[in-house]
Structure 1
């Protein structure tokens, strides 16, 4: 600041004692260049022109040109260049630099072609600009031209050419350049060593990259970062983490991008606690690290941790970007946490990114997954720009919430507005057909997949198997599997098994279950489903055999649970849960509610208890399922709140709980929204949005 003030005074003083000498101008121009003071340089140029001062050579003008180029002032550089009576190669190079600074690649190339004389700097400027802007093939052609024109490539030439090879993944030409580097005896340079390491790593030869890295005498931070990131891209997590630890022991500090990459590696390996420890040890975290940690938590199923960390990020005055916000909104969607989703929506509005397409798409998905399709629709309607992801989120949201016609109408509107349907679009419309038992319509949409230039995926076949199976066409579902162009996977056979269980088709259930036992013998789901089918038919020997097989294969059953958000806090329940602090109140409330519902027609369905036990034990077993406990807790905590009660369950709701919720919605006088693993159930006035198809 002091230097600029002195310049200002010096120029004003010089103006007061005209005429100025050549030495005055030279001294002040050099001061402007050293201070990077574009404003004073412009004043000085104007003073020179007003006093008709014409330098004897191009030195002063070249200095000003260099400053204008460095500041990215292309117009001023071009204007001065055109006024110059004397130009040398330095003048042309400065103009080239100005075009390169603003990224005008085609104009830069045109100026290069007009140059009456060039030097190695001219070629290097063109190679560097082509390489940095993604014109990698052109960059390599200029390197060849440079040598054909008799100029020896410099270290900068090789570094930028190697960057072009990295972008092209051109291993062969990269090796050629490596050979020239060795012949030119400039391989000891750290910049070239880093460029070679990066090229080999990106081209997949991580062994050669490591050999070069180990042989570098003077590794810098960039060297370590490039090698670590090379292992990240190769998926070698162990070596990546080992090298990262070695770097820290060497006393060098990794940059934020490398830290972010290593955090990602920890998450990919399932080492969430190690990622958390590493993150906690970082003294100064930027938004990249915060976002990486939040996204890692979301992808690892630690949504609550993601929300807590997001709060810490805001309290630390770190401004989240749209990607961070989208990830946090997604965690709210997975938790079905409407309160937190609404709070973040408010933050989105305050940040002025409520027109950002990824953020809006995430909000649409979040509101749909919280069962509030009206709010999702408002956001969808007000979006200035939409993409197919947004359309899919809204269509899928309608389908999951039982608004089948709205989903199908919106799909047709998407096509009318010239958006191309993708695989997810068809999963959404087929799901809508499933939820309404629309077999013919579902078949029509399934057949139209090929008309849109796509091949049906396993997800599409799973939808059709579900649709056919639920309508009683199990044999058609089996024929569809046999005619598939894909090898049936776990999803296909488990879908068929679920359909068979719903319809009591033991023969095809056995077919599906046997395939599932082979594909994943440790998953308890198929054993339990087949065992329950046998139990429903009274085939207790077969039940015992399947249970024994399950035990021998060490198959583990995952816990079924429900959760509910009350007063901004998530409460989780399992069947017959006795761990909640308010357990006595919850059971008293639930027992009271059951007695009321029985008076208006609710009759507990003990037939769903497929164990060879007494009727009293069966009744106790079904009375305290997790979603019923969650409902009772909500009624204790929010007795006078008119807002809907929202419950989430991680598996399909059973027949008895579904009937229970219908009767409860009559008694409590407000909607109950239950999201299970299949879909949403909106209970109100004794009926459900699924119309008993789920």
Structure 2
């Protein structure tokens, strides 16, 4: 096609050039913009459509910083960006976590009067989500006057990706009650399912599963693995197995979800057997699958099998990361092989991080090895100074040994450094809404619950 344009003398035609650039971007097999950029740079004149196409290509394929640079070049050339330019630039800024340039673009949008544009609003929601500024995402979302399904999906995904699972589920059911939006699509359910998984929200998960089945929606790997994980976290192993069996597209993600389900509920033998079936199909495992297998062996105390699986990762060219090493350290430590765990860490080809030292510290606590715990806690404080695990574990061990002054010193140091530990909480699902209650938590909106708890406390005195 390019050769024909050159022979015909149409290479400099803006319309033909834009088509050619689009084709180079579409069929780029190595995620490279090199060919498209050569055509673009050879043109003496470029309109906004052509600039947008190249910026979009860099925003999708990378390098993302070049997308922002091209946008700046376009403005310097005297051309004004339109409502299609800004979403591409914001996507590139979000991929780079580039808050500074993204906020500059946001300001320009307000000045240009394009802030109220639907496409621009959706792009801003996604940008602030990737920069972990969920409150700003929600403000932008609320400012969108005519929300479409993409608006809702972007905000639900923003909540889920940043750990606001309760808010994600509340927004999901709010969307269902908004008749202007229409029926949830594939992206909606894929965005909401991880929230159900993290919150173990069985009622919401049941609804999504029923929605998939009744609507005849094509159930791909993302939906199947999400539904299996949801049932796994809710303790419904048999239903998860049924979903797996009925899934037509059993990708590595789907197999991994089912192996994880077996492992987390103590069915390690079934998990290992499923791995053998997976290999019989001629498929190749990835790092996530091996992590699920190692975790299954860890829960069941299958040290020898875990070591074999860890070694087999090399046979399939799977790269081992910190999570794999931490799981192996935890497996060895729980079984009482402390010396082997220490030697295992020494042989690591990378510097141990928080998870690895945390696993060994937990093993020291189980084996009541306070001397080694002190050594590991010091290393943990160097790797992650803001982690409270080392202080709390040592304080608990000191208390068990009757070393009250040392325990008090640890807790005092924790307070002085203003390091906060993760607080435990209980949760309950009421009318498909997941509600959490922490220690000394009086934040619930229903005063009757707080009053009832106060009466219960008084009756126990």
Output the TM-score relative to the length of structure 1.
Answer: 0.59
2:214 pairs, out of 350, 354, 364, with: 350
In the TM superposition, residue 495 of structure 1 has moved relative to its aligned partner by 0.8
Is contact 1:197-1:213 (8 Å) kept?
no
Write the distance in 2 (CA, Å) between the matches of 1:391 and 1:356.
Answer: 13
Q: Which has the larger radius of gyration?
A: 1
1:307 pairs, out of 161, 169, 180, with: 169
**Unaligned stretches of 5+ residues in structure 1:** 1-125, 127-138, 592-619, 621-694
2:82 pairs, out of 220, 229, 232, with: 220
Partner of 1:147: 6
SS of the equivalent of 2:43 reads helix
Change (3 A) 1:312 1:508: same
Partner of 2:104: 242
Is contact 2:91-2:123 (8 Å) kept?
yes
1:298 matched to 2:176? The reply is no
Partner of 2:446: none
Change (3 A) 1:486 1:553: same
SS of the equivalent of 2:84 reads helix
In the TM superposition, residue 363 of structure 1 has moved relative to its aligned partner by 1.0
Is contact 1:190-1:216 (8 Å) kept?
no
Partner of 1:514: 378
Count of equivalent residues: 446
1:580 pairs, out of 418, 434, 450, with: 450
Q: RCO higher in 1 or 2 (8 Å CA, sep ≥ 6)?
A: 2
SS of the equivalent of 1:538 reads coil
In the TM superposition, residue 313 of structure 1 has moved relative to its aligned partner by 1.9
Write the distance in 1 (CA, Å) between the matches of 2:435 and 2:51.
Answer: 56
Write the distance in 2 (CA, Å) between the matches of 1:383 and 1:588.
Answer: 53
Partner of 2:273: 409
Alignment of 1:489-508 (within 5 A): 489-508=353-372
Partner of 1:382: 246
Partner of 1:85: none
1:160 pairs, out of 7, 19, 25, with: 19
1:472 pairs, out of 316, 332, 336, with: 336
In the TM superposition, residue 493 of structure 1 has moved relative to its aligned partner by 0.5
Change (3 A) 1:170 1:532: closer
Is contact 1:166-1:198 (8 Å) kept?
no
Partner of 1:211: 73
1:270 pairs, out of 118, 132, 135, with: 132
Write the distance in 2 (CA, Å) between the matches of 1:154 and 1:178.
Answer: 11
In the TM superposition, residue 298 of structure 1 has moved relative to its aligned partner by 1.0
In the TM superposition, residue 219 of structure 1 has moved relative to its aligned partner by 4.0
Write the distance in 2 (CA, Å) between the matches of 1:209 and 1:570.
Answer: 43
Partner of 1:252: 114
Is contact 1:213-1:227 (8 Å) kept?
no
Residues 41-89 of structure 1, C-alpha deviation per residue, up to 9 Å, x if partnerless? xxxxxxxxxxxxxxxxxxxxxxxxxxxxxxxxxxxxxxxxxxxxxxxxx
1:340 pairs, out of 180, 204, 209, with: 204
Partner of 2:349: 485
Write the distance in 2 (CA, Å) between the matches of 1:341 and 1:171.
Answer: 41
My pick for the range that moved more, 257-266 or 270-279, is 257-266
**Unaligned stretches of 5+ residues in structure 2:** 443-448
Partner of 2:289: 425
Change (3 A) 1:190 1:334: closer
In the TM superposition, residue 221 of structure 1 has moved relative to its aligned partner by 2.7
Write the distance in 1 (CA, Å) between the matches of 2:57 and 2:241.
Answer: 48
Partner of 1:121: none
In the TM superposition, residue 552 of structure 1 has moved relative to its aligned partner by 3.6
1:316 matched to 2:189? The reply is no
1:372 matched to 2:258? The reply is no
1:561 pairs, out of 414, 425, 430, with: 425
Write the distance in 2 (CA, Å) between the matches of 1:231 and 1:412.
Answer: 43
SS of the equivalent of 1:449 reads helix
Alignment of 1:89-128 (within 5 A): 126=1
In the TM superposition, residue 312 of structure 1 has moved relative to its aligned partner by 2.2
